[in-house]
Structure 1
């Protein structure tokens, strides 16, 4: 079930440790069928915030949603329903009759119903993608000079596409490096959207006093994704990677007078 849309139907509900577990099939004839909706889809004014799902405890391999559970009686073999709902003449055994009735609003484990991955579920995978750890490069190579800005840049890939199987769904995630934080090594952090470039097209520089410094880069990645070739959606969050640092020394040049005849 995608965030904010659609409903799931369950043939059977069980309760375990305070959480309902929904099943696509039932162990035997059942008195009711069940419909699972986001709270805001079942009643005006209710909330569909992802925070509600986050309040439901779930193991990594389980999908648990905060849902409104509705029930509808099924025609029993004797032609009646367990709650006395009138059955039209000739209505088949096992078919639902009457209106949906609210049963509860609760955390429901819907793993067995195999809903499409939610944005929050995709984000959990996005955080674990092997995204590039972009290295830091500096110019001039070797020692730098006081008064001459040090050029910082990275040359790693800033976009990547990963295709994942999430519970049988094909999920394509496109990750984009959209923010770069340069830790200069002298207590300064330079943040922007520019990965820098080497001389003479350099765009990220820093002035250093004399000393030895270790500079590094933290890259912030955002993403979009699609499920089974569907519409592109934003991944609801970002993740970061830290690249290999570079250490260099900044020296101060001293003028020395020499005798041209010596």
Structure 2
């Protein structure tokens, strides 16, 4: 996905980007095929930087359009075939765009409003855009602040709400156990799962991995904590001795994850989350010796 498509996607996918999730993120507003900004400032090297943090009483609001969007609006079709390659900076989003500005109504001492150049406001309230859009010169603009790539903390908020699998507790013997004979625990449920999430138009792939297994044994001895999912007999690694009785056990799994953004190098999700598997109930019986006559 090109950087341009990454920000243009914001105008067409926000309703689907967080299906089933509560979305939090920067305030990114879309006009008629353009990305809006509150402020444009000149940086070193001739690069313009867009942001939504404008000085008090700044006289303009802006929209940043792809040259094709401007051509289509003005001429009924895209005539901007000379696409430019903007400089690339690590962690920045820089695109070839046409900035357009519109006057804002500013306050006056007498309680009315004015514009920076005297264009009539017709009584518009302070901060209201007035007049037509003024088309500026096409140039490379840094739009990172308008829709930056998801931060690790933002990815973690999504990770916490993913439908991670609940791992099933298996035990041996599969029916009733015997006092004095250890019960074997393990899970054969998947311990990794991959999720692809759209976060503000960025494709985020989250690879979840089970990192810790807490086996709730159901008796007063408490829990068994391991870093492996166990194995069935005869390669068992997790055992527990019970007295006779009825017990309910279940498995809590602690999940960690890594993530990529638009195919980037993997990074760690800064935190873990847990899931509880379904409970399993079983009896442990006391074996009793019975004398028999071998000749009967």
Q: TM-score, normalised by structure 2?
A: 0.54
1:191-250, Cα deviation, whole Å (9 max, x unpaired)? 110100111111000000111000100000000001011121100100111111111111
CA distance in 1 between counterparts of 2:155 and 2:62 reads 23
Residues 24 and 113 in structure 1, CA contact (< 8 A), matched pair in contact too: no
Match of residue 108 from structure 2: none
Match of residue 54 from structure 2: 13
Q: Which runs of 5+ in 2 are unaligned?
A: 1-24, 26-48, 64-99, 105-115, 118-135, 138-142
SS in 2 for 1:261: coil
1:28 paired to 2:62: no
Q: 1:143 is matched with which residue: 176, 183, 206?
A: 176
More helix per residue = 2
CA distance in 2 between counterparts of 1:144 and 1:14 reads 73
CA distance in 2 between counterparts of 1:119 and 1:195 reads 28
Question: CA-atom RMSD, angstroms?
Answer: 3.1
Match of residue 80 from structure 1: none
Q: TM-score, normalised by structure 1?
A: 0.61
SS in 1 for 2:248: strand
CA distance in 1 between counterparts of 2:185 and 2:62 reads 56
Q: Which runs of 5+ in 1 are unaligned?
A: 2-7, 16-22, 31-75, 78-93, 96-109
Alignment: residue pair count: 177
Residues 51 and 145 in structure 2, CA contact (< 8 A), matched pair in contact too: no
CA distance in 1 between counterparts of 2:260 and 2:289 reads 62
Match of residue 243 from structure 1: 277
Task: Please list, as runs of the form range in 1=range in 2, the aligned pairs for 1:181-260 lying within 5 A after superposition.
Answer: 181-187=214-220, 188-260=222-294
Report deviation, 1:111: 11
SS in 2 for 1:125: helix
Residues 260 and 266 in structure 2, CA contact (< 8 A), matched pair in contact too: yes
Report deviation, 1:11: 5.9
Residues 10 and 24 in structure 1, CA contact (< 8 A), matched pair in contact too: no
Task: Please list, as runs of the form range in 1=range in 2, the aligned pairs for 1:2-151 lying within 5 A after superposition.
Answer: 9-10=50-51, 13=54, 25=63, 28-29=102-103, 113-151=146-184
Q: 1:170 is matched with which residue: 203, 216, 235?
A: 203
SS in 1 for 2:102: coil
SS in 1 for 2:213: strand
CA distance in 2 between counterparts of 1:178 and 1:204 reads 16
